[in-house]
């Protein structure tokens, strides 16, 4: 049985999970690939930190990354360090040196993915990155292979476990954002600095990677319009329940005759939609294609072993290609024009919460401003806060985003409106 050697860059959460699966399941992996996959070197900054780790004969910790990248016996480099500087240098060097690469680095792929794929093809090697999006959910290879004969028209997903945990607990317990965020940090679901998660940047990077594959475009992180969940209030969630909605942070990519739209934002979805039942830290992605119609993929989106499982699947796929002499066959195709559709032109229904004067004729004035912008009202709920103040929760018919921004300006100049509390999109069924 042929031996395929691996160089592992990083031994943190994902690196540890990857190594555990490669060693613990070595017999299964060998049986399914037809080759013995061995981790030869593990690059870490401080090998002394890992002196207690028992490595099998033939596997060593090293602190010189070049000893991995230039080792002629290593056919596969696994990058699980993260970041977009040193990691990028390592991946590019490995590809130029004729080494195949598996990576879990979503930041790197969202910033340089198309360029790195071109570099891999040029050097006749594989670049695989299943673990960069949605952890253990096998969505990237599914889009490349299983759904490769489909024209994908829509991707909708819960792509960040931290924000889903926060919103799920706010919904189920009626708790406030700050309280649940603190709980998520205590449980390890959220970082001390949660900005990348709660502002939607993490989900936007994942959406960029998936959209590049699904729509054959050179899509990068900066192409995605992004809004976070920090302004979501328990009051809005309660009103949403009355309207029959659940709030989620969604990554949404659609291709229509008007162009390609790429957005990450909080969204009310019908309680009947499959994504509404995705709770806690779980992720899910909903795919629409002209062959499969609709399909949904669900599972753990992060963690040592779920993400490590995705990395190992890439290593196995590359190992098969190495033994068959068939690396470098994945040649991505990109249309020359991205044809991105401006966010302001996207039509959607909206939920709006207004704090208004509790007096006769206020609803008529609010409705008049909506009518001036050609926005129809579908539902209204009024709550009297006290003798002077009332809250209006309004659900509109579908309208362009630009119309809604205009009516918000109009409300801010209307005396009877004390404040525009929240504006949340509503996803069509």
Q: And the tokens for 113?
A: 């993915």
- Choose, from 40, 41, 99, 206, the residue flagged as catalytic: 206
Helix (H) or strand (E) holding 93: helix 86-96
The string of DSSP letters for 300-336 reads: E-SSHHHHHHHHHHHHHHHHHHHHHT-TT-------S
Give the pair of three-digit tokens for residue 47: 């090998």
Does the active-site annotation cover 329? Answer: no
- Report the alpha-carbon distance of residue 341 to residue 260 in Å, rounded: 5
| DSSP state for residue 346 in the 8-state scheme | -
Helix (H, G, I), strand (E, B) or coil at 212: helix
387-402 as b/e, with b when 16 or more CB fall inside 10 Å?
eeebbbbbbbeebbbe
* Those residues with Cβ within 8 angstroms of residue 429's Cβ, 6 or more apart along the chain or in another chain: 270, 272, 273
b/e map of 291-319 (b: 16 or more CB within 10 Å)?
Answer: eeeeeeebbbbbbbbbbbbbbbbbbbbbb
Distance of CA 260 to the CA centre of its chain: 17
Give dist(CA 6, CA 399) in Å, integer. Answer: 53
Half-sphere exposure of residue 113, counting CA atoms within 13 Å on the CB side? Answer: 33
Q: Quick one: 253 exposed, middle or buried, by C-beta within 10 A (0-12, 13-18, 19+)? A: buried
| Long-range Cβ contact pairs of 331-338 (< 8 A, separation 24 or more) | 331/121, 332/114, 332/117, 332/118, 332/121, 332/212, 332/213, 332/216, 333/216, 334/114, 334/212, 334/216, 334/217, 334/218, 335/216, 335/217, 338/217, 338/218, 338/219, 338/223, 338/260
Catalytic residues: 206
């Amino acid at each position: 049985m042929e031996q395929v050697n691996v160089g592992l860059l990083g031994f943190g959460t994902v690196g540890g999970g990857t190594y555990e699966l490669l060693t613990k399941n070595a017999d299964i992996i060998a049986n399914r690939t037809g080759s013995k996959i061995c981790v030869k070197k593990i690059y870490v900054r401080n090998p002394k930190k890992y002196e207690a780790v028992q490595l099998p004969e033939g596997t060593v910790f090293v602190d010189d990354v070049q000893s991995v990248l230039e080792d002629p016996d290593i056919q596969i480099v696994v990058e699980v360090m993260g970041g977009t500087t040193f990691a990028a240098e390592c991946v590019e060097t490995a590809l130029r040196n004729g080494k195949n690469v598996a990576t879990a680095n979503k930041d790197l792929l969202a910033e340089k993915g198309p360029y790195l794929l071109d570099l891999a093809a040029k050097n006749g090697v594989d670049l695989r990155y299943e673990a960069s999006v949605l952890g253990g959910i096998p969505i990237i290879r599914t889009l490349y292979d299983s759904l490769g004969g489909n024209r994908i028209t829509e991707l909708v997903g819960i792509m960040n476990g931290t924000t889903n945990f926060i919103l799920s607990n706010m919904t189920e317990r009626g708790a406030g954002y700050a309280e649940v965020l603190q709980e998520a940090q205590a449980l390890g679901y959220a970082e001390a600095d949660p900005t990348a998660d709660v502002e939607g940047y993490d989900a936007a990077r994942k959406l960029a990677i998936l959209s590049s594959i699904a729509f054959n475009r050179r899509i990068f992180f900066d192409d995605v319009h992004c809004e976070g969940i920090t302004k979501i209030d328990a009051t809005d969630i309660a009103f949403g329940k009355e309207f029959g909605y659940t709030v989620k942070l969604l990554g949404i990519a659609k291709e229509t005759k008007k162009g390609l739209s790429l957005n990450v934002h909080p969204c009310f979805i019908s309680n009947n939609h499959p994504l509404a039942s995705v709770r806690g830290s779980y992720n899910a992605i909903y795919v629409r294609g002209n062959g499969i119609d609709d399909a949904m993929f669900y599972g753990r989106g992060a963690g040592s072993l779920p993400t490590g499982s995705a990395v190992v699947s890439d290593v196995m796929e590359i190992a098969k290609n190495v033994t068959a002499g068939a690396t470098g066959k994945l040649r991505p195709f990109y249309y020359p024009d991205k044809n991105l559709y401006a966010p302001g032109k996207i039509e959607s229904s909206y939920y709006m919460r207004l704090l208004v004067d509790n007096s006769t004729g206020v609803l008529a004035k609010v409705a008049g401003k909506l009518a001036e912008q050609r926005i129809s009202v579908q539902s209204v709920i009024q709550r009297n806060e006290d003798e002077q103040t009332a809250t209006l929760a309004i659900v509109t018919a579908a309208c362009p985003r630009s119309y809604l921004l205009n009516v918000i300006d109009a409300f801010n100049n209307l005396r009877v409106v004390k404040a525009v509390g929240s504006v949340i999109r509503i996803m069509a069924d």
